[in-house]
Amino acid sequence: MVKLALITGASSGIGEALAIEMARRHYKVILVARSEDRLKLISDRIQNEGGESIFLRVDLENGDEVASLKGSIESYGELSVIINNAGYGNFNNIENTEIEDWDRHININLKASFLICKIFVPQMKKRGAGVLVFINSVAGKKGYSNSTAYVASKFGLRGFSDALREELRDQNIKVISIFPGAVNTSFWDNSDIGFDKNEMLNAEVLSESIVSAIELPENCVVEEMQFRRVKGDF
């Protein structure tokens, strides 16, 4: 039986690395993001390496587009794994944080995960199995200056995933929260981070560890994983 995995934010960074690693481990991956061109490139790479992939262009800020995922995916089967990876970050002090930007952080970093779980968790409950992965951040455990919107959204995601874990524990559905520090991806391209990007975590190495946690035996779960640079605060 083919294992089906949905990955949001799959067009770059951690999401791209996870998609490639999951496909290599014989999952049929459904790639979701806004950039159709990038999704096609990654999907083609997976297929050229002998894997199976589908890509769906979805704006996760649009509730109707997120709701349409159910119909789009039904013909492929039931999801074994959902990786809520899509994320957004724009770092500013409080007076320069626009309301629209605050809302965007909440919509992408928190609300999108809620909507996707609301749609697909009932299928997992019915089957009595499934894995939900939430790619959070060290900012979901600690506040950082000039990051109020980002940190608030990540603390919210942590609370949501913690509560959902307890809600689903008796349903044999695993909930795994990932808290990475700075990962060397395009997320940081326009940020003044104060250190060399080469010191950051590697997305491919990170993904290997995450997928290994997903594939643990049915009676075992790693509920949280935190990754940081040896040096520095994140």
- Please list the active-site residues: 150
Considering only CA atoms, give the Rg of the chain.
17
13-24 and 36-48 helices, crossing angle to 10°: 30
Assess contact for 183 and 230: CB atoms under 8 A.
no
Strand 3-8 vs strand 27-33: parallel, antiparallel, or unpaired?
A: parallel
Paired tokens of 16:
């791209």
Q: Give first-to-last CA distance, the chain, whole Å.
A: 40
Assess contact for 146 and 98: CB atoms under 8 A.
no
The helix/strand count (H/E) of the chain reads as 8, 7
